[in-house]
Amino acid sequence: MFGKQERNYSGFWRIRPDERLKGQATESAKAFHRSLPVLCFPFTPSPHIRPGGIALAIKQKGVSSLRAQVVTPRTSRRVKRARTSRGGNLFKRKTFFLKYLQSAVGFAKPAAVLVAVLLVIWGYNAVADSSLFELGRIEVDASSPKLRADIEETVRRSVGQTKLLGLDIANVREKVESLVRVRTATVARVLPDGISVTVVERRPAVLARRKSNALVWLDEDGVELGDDINLRGELSGEGLSIPPIMTGLVEDDRSRVVPAQNRERIKIYKHIEEEFKKEPNPLWNLLDEIDLTFTEHVKLQLANSTIMIHVGDQDFRNRFQTAIQVLAAIKQGDTEMLNRFKVQSPEQLIANADNISFIDVARTDRIVLNFSAPGKEKAVRQEEKRK
């Protein structure tokens, strides 16, 4: 063994140190040194020797230099394995604990959120069911006393025993807007025990006569607001007066186009009102009735008279003024004025002035007058080239 080692290595021999055999190893080295035909130096302390090791120098034949070999004691494999095993188990335990802790923290966060939500819901329900939020007062912004009373009654009936925090405001608003006199409504909570209602009222726009001769008020959308007597009594403080009555209202409830047709008639009525109220010579008070049965053939009835004037579908004021001037000339016996309008037989017209029932001024080429006196069924037609 030593010969092989001597051939393979150039000067050093490593032995496994053992504290118990340190002396024996030294003696064996010395004996081996004596038996070899080489110079062998005994164990000599060296500053390069690590603690716990020994150094052995062997001088081979033909080798002029020596090398110091430091032999370091090795740790026992069992001890190393035991240490590694204990360290690995501790690391595994720490890793498992950290993972378990992370999992617990990850589960605790949503659980805490869920508990907080449940507490909020429970607290809200407890507060919402409190008698503090029972309906106590209703604030209504409406000009009519009767309408305010109707709105308050509707709100109380809609709320019932429901607390304000759980109240469906949209449902209350729909109930208020279902009232005939209400166009739009805004409903809001006034906590803890109040409700505020602001409405846009439907205002009477047209007084119409039905086929049954009943008088009803309509707004600009054609919605019936009530009969004349009740509504005038309700709005007596607002100075509601009797305007010219509209006739020709469509009353077929089965047709879907009826509301649109009545809105068209109301629009024409309001246009005539606007034209006839113009200053400095308003003519609105000269009318008693506006017949809108046929919107292309509008007829106006004079106040305190049975005479009906046909003005067509446009230029209502100018045509009406022409008819008034002709009728005034006939009643005054002004033949000069009638001749200016190129009216034929002005003397016959003047003689039958009280029997005139109809005058047509809608055509541009002539004026037509009809008489309704007893014994005179034949109409006298006068034609005129209008300037």
What beta strand segments (E) does 104-178 contain? Answer: 137-141
Q: Is residue 306 part of a domain?
A: yes
pLDDT grade, residue 142 (50/70/90)?
confident
Q: What distance in Å separates the CA atoms of residue 354 and residue 332, rounded to the nearest whole number?
A: 12
Query: Residues 373, 352: contact at Cβ < 8 Å?
Result: yes
Judge if 38 and 54 occupy the same domain. yes
Judge if 306 and 366 occupy the same domain. yes
Judge if 221 and 146 occupy the same domain. no
Residue with tokens 């055999």, as numbered in its chain: 21
Q: Is residue 379 part of a domain?
A: no
What is the structure's pLDDT at 370? Answer: 85
Range scoring the smallest mean pLDDT among 124-128, 194-198, 212-216: 124-128
The CATH number of the domain where 176 resides is what?
Answer: 3.10.20.310
Range scoring the smallest mean pLDDT among 90-99, 109-118, 153-162, 203-212: 90-99
Give every CB contact of residue 256 below 8 A, 6+ residues apart in sequence. Answer: none
Q: Mean of the pLDDT values across residues 30-54?
A: 48
Give phi and psi for 214, each to the nearest 5: -75, 140
Q: Is residue 275 part of a domain?
A: yes
Q: Is residue 98 part of a domain?
A: yes
Give phi and psi for 299, each to the nearest 5: -125, 140
For 90, half-sphere exposure in the C-beta direction (CA atoms, 13 angstrom radius) is 6
pLDDT digit string (tens) for 111-120?
777 777 777 7
Q: Any idea of the CA torsion for 261, 263, 265, 271, to the nearest 10 degrees? A: -150
Query: Residues 291, 297: contact at Cβ < 8 Å?
Result: no
Q: Is residue 387 part of a domain?
A: no
Q: What distance in Å separates the CA atoms of residue 175 and residue 152, rounded to the nearest whole number?
A: 11
pTM of the model: 0.61
Judge if 145 and 171 occupy the same domain. yes
Judge if 122 and 191 occupy the same domain. no
Query: Residues 14, 71: contact at Cβ < 8 Å?
Result: yes
3-state secondary structure of 16: coil
Is 50 exceeded by the pLDDT of residue 40? no
Q: Is residue 320 part of a domain?
A: yes
The DSSP H or E segment spanning 111 is helix 77-128
pLDDT digit string (tens) for 243-299?
999 999 988 776 778 889 999 999 999 999 999 999 889 999 999 999 999 999 999
Q: Is residue 175 part of a domain?
A: yes
Judge if 145 and 60 occupy the same domain. no
Give the strand order in the sheet containing 137-141: 137-141, 194-201, 182-190
Judge if 211 and 244 occupy the same domain. yes
Q: Mean of the pLDDT values across residues 210-221?
A: 90
DSSP assigned state of 305: S
What is the structure's pLDDT at 368? Answer: 82
Give phi and psi for 203, each to the nearest 5: -100, 140
The CATH number of the domain where 272 resides is what?
Answer: 3.40.50.11690
**Domain end position, chosen among 71, 100, 117:** 71
Judge if 274 and 311 occupy the same domain. yes
Is 70 exceeded by the pLDDT of residue 50? no
Judge if 89 and 27 occupy the same domain. no
> Within 10 Å of residue 270's Cβ, how many Cβ atoms?
13
Query: Residues 226, 238: contact at Cβ < 8 Å?
Result: no
What is the structure's pLDDT at 374? Answer: 52
DSSP assigned state of 12: B
How big is the chain, counted in residues? Answer: 387
What is the structure's pLDDT at 179? Answer: 92
Judge if 166 and 218 occupy the same domain. no
Peptide bond into 280 cis (omega under 30): yes
Percentage of the chain exceeding pLDDT 70 = 62
Is 50 exceeded by the pLDDT of residue 227? yes
- The amino acid at residue 274 is E
Judge if 218 and 306 occupy the same domain. yes
Q: Is residue 382 part of a domain?
A: no
State the pairing for strand pair 224-227/215-218: antiparallel
With 0-12 / 13-18 / 19 or more C-beta atoms within 10 angstroms meaning exposed / middle / buried, residue 17 is middle
Query: Residues 358, 307: contact at Cβ < 8 Å?
Result: yes
Mean of all residue pLDDT scores within the chain: 75
What is the structure's pLDDT at 42? Answer: 45
Q: How far is CA 173 from CA 108, 158, 166, 198, in A?
A: 45, 10, 15, 10
Judge if 121 and 241 occupy the same domain. no
User: Which pair of structure tokens corresponds to residue 346?
Assistant: 């002005």
pLDDT grade, residue 7 (50/70/90)?
very low
Greater pLDDT, 27 or 131 = 131
The DSSP H or E segment spanning 287 is strand 287-291
What is the structure's pLDDT at 154? Answer: 94
Give every CB contact of residue 17 below 8 A, 6+ residues apart in sequence. Answer: 25, 52, 53, 54, 71, 72, 73, 74
Which domain range does residue 85 map to?
Answer: 81-128
3-state secondary structure of 239: coil
Q: For the chain, what is the domain count?
A: 4
